[in-house]
Amino acid sequence: MLRGKTAVVTGASRGIGRAIAECFAKNGANIAIIYAGNEAAAKEIVEKIAESGVEAESYKCDVSSFSETKETVDKILQRFGGVDILVNNAGVVKDSLMLKMSEQDFDSVLSVNLKGAFNMIKHLFPQFARRRKGRIINISSVVGICGNAGQANYAAAKSGIIGLTKSVAKELASRGVTCNAIAPGFIKTDMTDSLPENIKDRVLDQIPMKRMGLAEEIASLALFLASDNAGYITGEVIKADGGLCI
Ligand code: NAP
């Protein structure tokens, strides 16, 4: 489905990003993986991906840094020649109620989750516009649509991703480049594994499908959006949440 294409996936050393990278590789794409610090996990996924017979390389890069992302994008363009698909997936949480939320926790969550996506799109924008084709997929969250007590910083960042997605979609539509967002619900990864059991049970109770989603279920939606089959879809926010936010 993606044979001969090159995809950049941020936050691909673990969780949803890793599942997307593996799924795209199985479907023929060469993969550039961006991770924050977990080198062992990044190396492991690169080796696994290479088994699919595609090219893969990992890059340690803090997506919140404008200069680091510029250097990394330049290296990726040199290595792969061009980028067809960008998946902005890197994300962090620093949860607390507003009364207790520090300015630093607000700023750092916005920097990684929202500015990180801006940085990557900004540096790849000229090549997407020049090549007149491409796919940008941003990972938002249902929390960015519905809000969530204890996650004002994260929800603000994920809502911001939706505004960014729609604006970039309008700017790049005439160039044949689509930009869409995926809003996952409660997905089983390190991010949710760290939640206390009583909170997990409370969320599960609110999900009509009564289960957590799998990273692979987000990856299959990303694969569709990245494929030629999704050529007329842009500026959309697609939920994958077992009905949580109906
Ligand atoms: P995860 O398992 O915690 O993995 C986070 C990934 O992001 C890791 O690869 C990590 O790299 C990378 N990362 C973190 N900070 C970074 C930075 N500053 N620069 C570059 N990479 C960075 O998270 P996940 O659950 O898979 O979540 C992936 C995305 O889906 C996030 O945007 C998250 O907000 C969103 N999402 C998740 C859920 C859910 O229920 N899990 C629901 C809705 C939305 P290292 O391994 O090097 O640390």
Confidence check: pLDDT of 166 > 90: yes
Q: Per-residue confidence at 214, pLDDT binned at 50, 70, 90?
A: very high
- pTM of this structure: 0.98
Atom of ligand 1 nearest to the CA of 19: 26
Domains and CATH numbers, the chain: 6-239 (3.40.50.720)
In this prediction, residue 68 carries a pLDDT of: 98
Q: What is the mean pLDDT of the chain?
A: 97
Beta bridge partners of 193: none
* Alpha carbon nearest to ligand 1 atom 12, residue: 11
Please give the C-alpha separations between residue 82 and each of 29, 111, 130, in angstroms, as whole numbers. Answer: 12, 26, 11
Q: Is 62 near ligand 1, meaning CB less than 6 Å away?
A: yes
The reply to whether ligand 1 has any atom less than 6 angstroms from the CB of 213 is: no
Angle between helices 15-26 and 215-226 (to 10 degrees): 50
Tens of pLDDT, residues 177-189: 999 999 999 999 9
- Cβ-contact 144, 155 below 8 angstroms: yes
Rounded distance between C-alpha atoms, residue 28 and residue 123, angstroms: 25
Q: Whose CA is nearest to atom 33 of ligand 1?
A: 91
* Residues 63 and 120: beta-carbon distance below 8 Å: yes
- Protein residue with its CA nearest to atom 24 in ligand 1: 15
Spatial neighbors of 37 by CB under 8 A, at least 6 apart, are: 60
- C-beta 151 within 6 A of ligand 1: no
